Amino acid sequence: MKDTVTIVTGGSQGIGRAIADFLADKGGNIAVFDIVDGSETVNSVTGKGRRSEFFSVDVSNLSAVEAAVDGVVKKMGKIDNLVNNAGITADKLLLRMKEDEWDRVIRVNLKSAFNCTKAVLRHMLKTGGSIVSISSIAGVMGNPGQSNYAASKAGLIGFTKSIAKEYGERNIRANIVAPGFIKTKMTEILDEKSKEEMLKMIPLKKYGEPSDIAHAVYFLLSEYGSYITGEVINVNGGLHM
Ligand code: NAD
């Protein structure tokens, strides 16, 4: 990980922020792609003696992503890894779901992976590289009220396996981490009753921390994961196995 450059999308807070911090602890330099201010992450990474740059970019917009990726190469010299982490929810039962709520979630969660992966591949083809996308237990199991989100997260798995097959011979690996219930702003909004019900079903009887996801991402990106591609690692306390 030492001296590598990793793009972390949605790296300004939550799981993305934890990934940036942990990779920096391991000697990595971080480019943060987000639509909200990323200075806390940048300050934290530079505070560890690593380099970090923030790019204000909507990852659902291909031309904006291409410009930001060129910016990373210009400012940081190269791209070794990509973490497709940015994501949103817009939960509704399908009968009530508006077309825009479907489209928005698919664009931000799934099309973003097409945009970012396509843009970094141009650089990784020469050097090799590693890509981890953050799916979800909802993409593996389905979840009522989340048909848009679950479809986007299941789509990431098929996308990733295809990339793993297309670019394995160019020494580019692509893998998935599928979190269960992790304590972040995304899950803060759920009502207490749903949270209690969820906890009862988790064999380890606790929610995950953003750092739990960061550790799995590091494992897959680093030399420890060098013979792993097209894989899905579930990090969910046993909620799904
Ligand atoms: P979060 O809401 O705390 O962070 C998401 C980040 O993505 C934010 O910084 C946000 O600004 C950024 N983002 C949103 N739209 C963007 C866009 N168009 N362009 C660029 N950045 C954008 O959420 P989190 O809990 O940290 O989730 C991170 C990832 O993990 C998401 O993909 C989420 O679906 C996935 N996940 C989370 C959980 C959980 O329990 N928290 C479970 C399974 C999967």
Phi, psi of 85, rounded to the nearest 5 degrees: -115, -25
Q: CA 235 to CA 241: how far, in whole Å?
A: 10
* Ligand 1 contact via 58 beta carbon (within 6 Å): yes
Q: What is the pLDDT of residue 217?
A: 99
Q: What is the pLDDT of residues 53-63, one digit of tens each?
A: 999 999 999 99
Element (H, E) at 7: strand 5-9
Q: What is the pLDDT of residue 1?
A: 87
Q: CA 42 to CA 46: how far, in whole Å?
A: 6
Cα(73) to centroid(ligand 1), Å: 24
Q: What is the pLDDT of residue 188?
A: 87
Q: What is the pLDDT of residue 35?
A: 98
Q: What is the pLDDT of residues 67-106, one digit of tens each?
A: 999 999 999 999 999 999 999 999 999 999 999 999 999 9
- Which spans in the chain are helix H? 14-25, 39-47, 62-76, 99-106, 112-127, 137-141, 147-167, 185-188, 192-201, 210-221
* Ligand 1 contact via 213 beta carbon (within 6 Å): no
Active site residue 149: yes
* Ligand 1 contact via 182 beta carbon (within 6 Å): yes
Per-residue model confidence as pLDDT tens for the chain (241 residues): 899 999 999 999 999 999 999 999 999 999 999 999 999 999 999 999 999 999 999 999 999 999 999 999 999 999 999 999 999 999 999 999 999 999 999 999 999 999 999 999 999 999 999 999 999 999 999 999 999 999 999 999 999 999 999 999 999 999 999 999 999 988 888 889 989 999 999 999 999 999 999 999 999 999 999 999 999 999 999 999 9
Q: What is the pLDDT of residue 63?
A: 98
Q: Which of 182, 186, 199 to mutate to test the pocket of ligand 1 (most atoms within 8 A of CB)?
A: 186
pTM of the model: 0.98
Q: Which atom of ligand 1 is nearest to the CA of 33?
A: 20
* Ligand 1 contact via 28 beta carbon (within 6 Å): no
